[in-house]
Amino acid sequence: MHPRHPEIDPHLLSETEEQRELRTVLRDFFTEVSGPEDARKHQATPRGYDGTVWARLAGEIGVHGLAIPEEFGGSGYTFAELAVALEESGRTLYCAPLLPTVVLAAHALLYSGDRQACERYLPRIADGTLTATVAGFHEDAPAAGPEAGVQAEHGATGWVLRGAADFVLDGAGADVILVRAETPDGTRLFACEPTTVTCVRTPRRVLDETRRQALVEFRGAPAALVGGSGEVTAALDAGRAALAAEQVGGSGHALDATVEFVGQRRQFGRPIGSFQAVKHRLADVLVALEAARSASAYATACVALASPQLPVAASAAAAVCSETFRLATAEYVQLHGGIGFTWEHPAHLYVRRARSSEVLFGTADQNRTRLAELIGLAPRSAA
């Protein structure tokens, strides 16, 4: 059972001066290069994002290497700095694969303890020349049998993968896929550099086209064993914390845009924002957003400090931030009146991101159930 009371110094939940400066730089950067119109434009491209902007983000600002140790080509900061970047990317719906590459794949490599794999992939993730993702990262291991999940077997020259993983983030474009697969000795983690011959990748049509997903079918794909186990819970919890930071950023944009609109739109000779009913609705969003910021900050600190409280913090942040983003985007649409429901207005893009994000690492109810189990309020479900 996890202790119910937090063990993180409250001072670590506040931004440092350096983090505030980073936020200012990133907000200016994303305002310049990313936004709803950019997201619409890139939806029609094969890769789904601007490679030049991706390279600038890695090279000029160094976002990709913020949480990667210097020995592996990163800048040696912590997840707290990376969370700042993720929050600002969420404000503008930045559509490049930061979450699968810089969070899930990079942290899976770091947590694996496999120095050789880290030396091979992390420097290229840090400098922006390599994109990566993960597949089969379900906390309940795939059921045994040839029809379930991904299996790894010994081939003539090493390990090969067979099977399929669906709805893989950036699955159609990633240069490297970290795959959790079943072996005769249990679940293990593998690194696969897909080719068209042994790996068929089919883009899926998803609600949020700014975050692409794909069906990945492994047909004897060569793979290298990474680490000594297939444990991925810590990487998934880092993903939950990262997604929570994104959701806070998106919620902040929705609230700011709505407040600006209701201050300008006039009815009956006065701004609609002066009506009490509108004030109450926006106040509810603000209160929810502050709660989400607190939950996100705590989860971020737990990742940065490798705290044993991370599973609790990550599940709490996932539940709170998902519901806040849903509320903020609903009000974004409704308080804009008729224009908020149109295809031309950007509100629906944020609604799509909110609805897809809330099921990415488990729904709010699933994360609450996990949280209750972790703190001893409910019996653990059978694996």
pLDDT at position 153: 95
pLDDT at position 143: 42
pLDDT at position 6: 56
pLDDT at position 382: 53
Q: Is 229 exposed, middle or buried (0-12, 13-18, 19+ CB in 10 A)?
A: middle
Residue type, 208: D
Q: 36-43 vs 347-357: helix axis angle to the nearest 10?
A: 70
What distance in Å separates the CA atoms of residue 88 and residue 93, rounded to the nearest whole number? 9
What distance in Å separates the CA atoms of residue 118 and residue 132, rounded to the nearest whole number? 13
For residue 222, what is the enclosing H or E element? strand 213-226
Total count of residues recorded for the chain: 383
pLDDT at position 314: 97
- pLDDT tens, per residue, the chain with 383 residues: 455 555 777 777 789 999 999 999 999 999 999 888 888 888 888 899 999 999 999 999 999 999 999 999 999 999 999 999 999 999 999 999 999 999 999 999 999 999 999 999 999 999 999 999 999 997 554 444 444 589 999 988 899 999 999 999 999 999 999 999 999 999 999 999 999 999 999 999 999 999 999 999 999 999 999 998 999 999 999 999 999 999 999 999 999 999 999 998 888 889 888 899 999 999 999 999 999 999 999 999 999 999 999 999 999 999 999 999 999 999 999 999 888 888 889 999 999 999 999 999 999 999 999 999 999 887 776 54
Please name the residue ranges forming H helices in the chain. Answer: 17-33, 36-43, 51-56, 79-91, 98, 106-112, 115-126, 233-264, 276-304, 310-334, 347-357, 364-374
Collapsing DSSP to helix, strand or coil, 197 comes out as coil
What distance in Å separates the CA atoms of residue 311 and residue 2, rounded to the nearest whole number? 9
Residue pair 351/330 in contact by the 8 Å Cβ criterion? yes
For residue 67, the tally of other CB atoms under 10 A from its CB is 27
pLDDT at position 194: 96
Collapsing DSSP to helix, strand or coil, 16 comes out as coil
Return the bridge partners of 165, or none: 216
What distance in Å separates the CA atoms of residue 312 and residue 298, rounded to the nearest whole number? 10
pLDDT at position 268: 87
For residue 11, the tally of other CB atoms under 10 A from its CB is 8
Collapsing DSSP to helix, strand or coil, 191 comes out as strand
Q: Is 23 exposed, middle or buried (0-12, 13-18, 19+ CB in 10 A)?
A: middle
What distance in Å separates the CA atoms of residue 153 and residue 144, rounded to the nearest whole number? 13
Residue 196, CA atoms < 13 Å, CB-side half-sphere? 0
pLDDT at position 157: 87
Residue type, 151: Q
Transcribe 270-293 into DSSP letters: EEGGGSHHHHHHHHHHHHHHHHHH
